[in-house]
Amino acid sequence: MESLWLLVSATVFLSIATFLLCTNSTKFFRKNNGNTRPSPSSSEIQLPLGTLGWPFIGETIEFISCAYSGSPEKFMDKRRCLYGNVFKSHLFGSRTIVSTDAEVNKHVLDSKTFIPAYPRSLTELMGESSILVTNGNLHKKLHGLIGAFLKCPQLKAQITRDMQKYVHETVNHWKDDQLIYIQDVSKNIAFKVLVKVLIGLDPGEEVQFLNQQFHEFNAGIISLPIKIPGSRLYRSLQAKKRMMKVIEKIIQEKQKHNSNEIPKDIIDVLLNDSNKQLTPGFISSNMVDFMIPAEDSVPVLITLVVKFLSECPRALEQMLEENMKLQILKDEMGGFLCWSDYMSLPFTQNVITEALRLGNIIGGVMRKATKDVQIKGYLIPEGWCVFAYILSVHLDDKHYDQPHQFNPWRWQDNNIGTCNFTPFGGGQRLCPGLELARLETSIFLHHFITQFSWVAEEDAIIHFPTARLKRRMPVCVKRR
């Protein structure tokens, strides 16, 4: 979710940059060496080295151009050579301390001193009461309720059944030599699972309507913060209102038949809580907001794995063998695959882990310091943003041998629970759905690779604002 900050801010500042370039104002574009702050203090010398770049625009343009290239870490590598793993910059309109240091990133993600920093257009879309921007006790309460629910065995069993069903319904229509776009297919399946988990809706007209409105809403994330009729942001807000009306009707129906049964979806979880802040409007708004980070994570992870397997026949062969053994065993026993079966496949989980490391669904996380903080000898001033850049850590040869090579075997003896591996963020805002993301990915991959062989067309990963495949990963499938 945090990386969406980059998405909105980039659009705003690229537009401003275009205007400023057209003005040809050499006075405005005088270089800023970044050696001073508006209110200098005796601790100024403790600021990390670096430059703030051009006035107002800073170094945003160069960062974005590198992120769109095949080597997104170029921006960071250049500055790490000059200034070290932690340096100052000016990105997306804010003075920023950029960290490519795993220990500093962990401190930033774990500390309550650092809070999410989003631009106005995104807060307009989400609302000030969104769990994605709230802090303190309310955020802790919501995160705890949702996290506990997402870990319960009943939900995992439900998601396993639903995911298997939706995958089967999808692939049963595929024909030999048909061109399939993995990113699109997985998005469609994952959205159905997501809506069922959030609000308890099965696929049908309402889910289709929500899907259409969500894409209209989501388009406003890439927009200028102008909220007037006809503007992109205004249309997105209207789409959110339409979605909220559907969800509020569902909430009203649930309230009429209120019971103490085991919660079947997140709305049930929140309605069963006694907190008076959890009003129908609050709940319906947050259900829409939850779709923003969740709608992309699973489909992109699935797509990344298919891409990397397509480029590594040895890994595909070993993963196919592992999954076929499981399928044959279940067929002989006459049982159905359950969530523990999928999660018990060690090499498959290593493949997913490596795809998370190399693919980097979330390139970095933005936070803002609420007071002066010193970490490992660096000063992070109050009000400055901190960009904990995860991608650089995951691609650092000090942490991983041949880091740009897809090598799932590296995880056979490695512990993934270290500060060098943080694909889902960390701290109190660690993604509560990380286990479910692995589960859904495992289910899709099992059925895809055991039922089909494929030839992948060439495609490339774009790392801005979040990872995705430029051509949506086209593959020509053939049933085994």
Q: CA-CA distance, 352 to 298, in Å (whole number)?
A: 11
Residue 58, phi then psi, degrees to nearest 5: 65, -135
Tokens encoding 93 = 């309109």
Residue 458 DSSP one-character state: P
Distances 315 to 167, 283, 290, 309, 457 between C-alpha atoms, Å: 23, 43, 34, 6, 18
Residue 475, phi then psi, degrees to nearest 5: -135, 145
Residue 312 marked in a binding site? no
User: For residue 152, which of 288, 266, 301, 274 has the smallest C-alpha distance?
Assistant: 266
Q: CA-CA distance, 415 to 431, in Å (whole number)?
A: 19
Q: From the CB of residue 327, how many other CB atoms can be counted at a distance below 10 Å?
A: 16
Residue 32, phi then psi, degrees to nearest 5: -105, 120
User: For residue 446, which of 273, 291, 319, 281 has the smallest C-alpha distance?
Assistant: 319
β-strands 94-99, 385-389 pairing: parallel
Distance of CA 183 to the CA centre of its chain: 15
**Partner residues linked to 87 by β-bridges:** 98
Tokens encoding 49 = 């080295």
**Partner residues linked to 388 by β-bridges:** 99, 365
Q: CA-CA distance, 470 to 462, in Å (whole number)?
A: 6
Residue 58 DSSP one-character state: B
Q: CA-CA distance, 269 to 199, in Å (whole number)?
A: 10
Residue numbers in the known binding site are 431
**Known binding residues for heme:** 431
